[in-house]
Structure 1
């Protein structure tokens, strides 16, 4: 089910686009601590079609990271509807959601989240390990992903032996190794210098040109402007750019 679900978003009759990859309607997210409630999202409507490159922008505390977690099936909405390639996420069981997170969505985070004891290529292969891909294929695909991000000569280096920019490129390679339909990047340049930032953004541009759907979470205007469309989030609401 999960294997076919996002692929369906990119085809309809005669190959035309069908359902959007992402469609949110009235999505709310409330966090509770004892008797205290905080509404991080307050009724978000958002549509993202296959092949789009969308930046979600907002200041700290605006709700943009909460939105990313819901889009990536890392968290669930308190209310409202989230359809991923036409499927109501609330109707999927945990096995399907786990499969989507591992195979159909690539994640890139500000903090890299690399395992320090593993070499770069072994970090990259991890989604394939969880997906029970045979070892020889895992190695070949991890090496290809590393070469794709320009680190073919750093396969055996551990994260501590790499610069911040190189570590983020390893994280991008890991997100790409499963050939996901959707790439979610949460502040991917937040810990990088200007040169590494340009490299990572150029890589996202290349991936978008190849047809991938990319959602980039950022609070930086110059980073957001690299995308096709900017969605602005403030106080838990989409204030602009939510619909085509």
Structure 2
């Protein structure tokens, strides 16, 4: 166990300084005798409170970056410091705690359980964290109200539009009060109106001090961030401050 190393991230993350620091990050996948280098030695630093979009075409390595940042995959070589802690030093229990309590995930596919109401979908991370039942409902309701769905608490996913389902997914990402939001193509399945609603939510979250990393292949979506990181063939090819 590396309990001491995980404390800074599971505790209060500093308001200044890097939340994410990748150095010489490489990721190689092997299938039999075939090797594919998805990341080819990238350096990336994201400070607390930043709103960064990682953009690139299919196969560029941006989804691999997402998986590494979310502690869903590990590097082949190089280092990943999360709020100053070396992720490589954390065991599976600690990594699970980080994923559940300090990172909020939003995916292109909403990943909502169709048999559960909106608030019960939102409370799931709290169930896994062992939060008491009464507190879970209160926090789930508050999260749904925050994304404008206070009147849809008992609706199941099939009774909601695509944009509403993604807002439920955002509420679920927020319910643990994470310091870092990772969003992987969150508008990929949405129409233009719903896209604007979800991006508006990210704007609001950024305004409250959340660190947001948005993975996308759409330039107009990336332009809503404050910094754009362009990725191609496993390398960062350019970085620019969004207009």
- Equivalent of 1:75, from 73, 76, 79? 73
Q: Is the 2:227–2:240 Cα contact (8 Å) retained in structure 1? A: no
CA deviation vs aligned residue, 1:74-109 (integer Å, no higher than 9, x gap): 000111000000111001111110000000000000
C-alpha distance in 2 between matches for 1:37 and 1:205: 39
Equivalence map 1:200-211=2 (5 Å): 200-211=198-209
Distance 2:52 2:35 in 1: 30
Deviations 1:18-59 (A, max 9, x none): 4x1000001111111101111111101000000000000000
TM-score, with structure 1 as normaliser: 0.94
Q: Give the structure 1 partner of residue 179 of structure 2.
A: 181
Residue deviations 1:151-196 (CA, integer Å, cap 9, x gap): 1111111111111000000000000000000000000000000000
Shift of 1:239: 0.9
| Pair 1:176–1:168, CA change in 2 (3 A) | same
4+ long deviations beyond 3 Å: 1-4, 6-9
Q: CA deviation at 1:7?
A: 5.0
Structure 2 residue 166 is matched with structure 1 residue 168? yes
Q: Which residue of 2 aligns with 1:4?
A: 8
**Map 1:198-237 → 2, pairs under 5 A:** 198-237=196-235
**2:60 corresponds to which residue?**
62
Please list the CA deviations of residues 193-238 of structure 1 after superposition, one character each: whole Å capped at 9, or x if unmatched.
0000000000000000000000000000010011010000000001
Confirm or deny: 8 A CA contact 1:114 1:171 kept in the other structure. yes
1:10 Cα deviation from its structure 2 partner: 1.8
Q: For residues 6 and 133 of structure 1, what CA distance do their matches in structure 2 show?
A: 16
Q: Is the 8 A contact 2:8 2:83 kept in 1?
A: no
SS in 1 for 2:224: coil
TM-score, reference length from structure 2: 0.95
Q: 1:169 to 1:198 in 2, by over 3 A?
A: same
How many residue pairs get matched?
237
Runs of 5+ unmatched residues, structure 1 = 12-16
Per the TM alignment, residue 242 of structure 1 is displaced from its structure 2 partner at its CA by 8.7
Q: How does 1:84-163 map to 2 (within 5 A)?
A: 84-163=82-161
Paired with 1:71 and 1:8, the residues of 2 have a C-alpha distance of 19
Distance 2:131 2:7 in 1: 14
Runs of 5+ consecutive residues of structure 2 not aligned to the other structure: none
Give the CA deviation at 1:5: 1.7
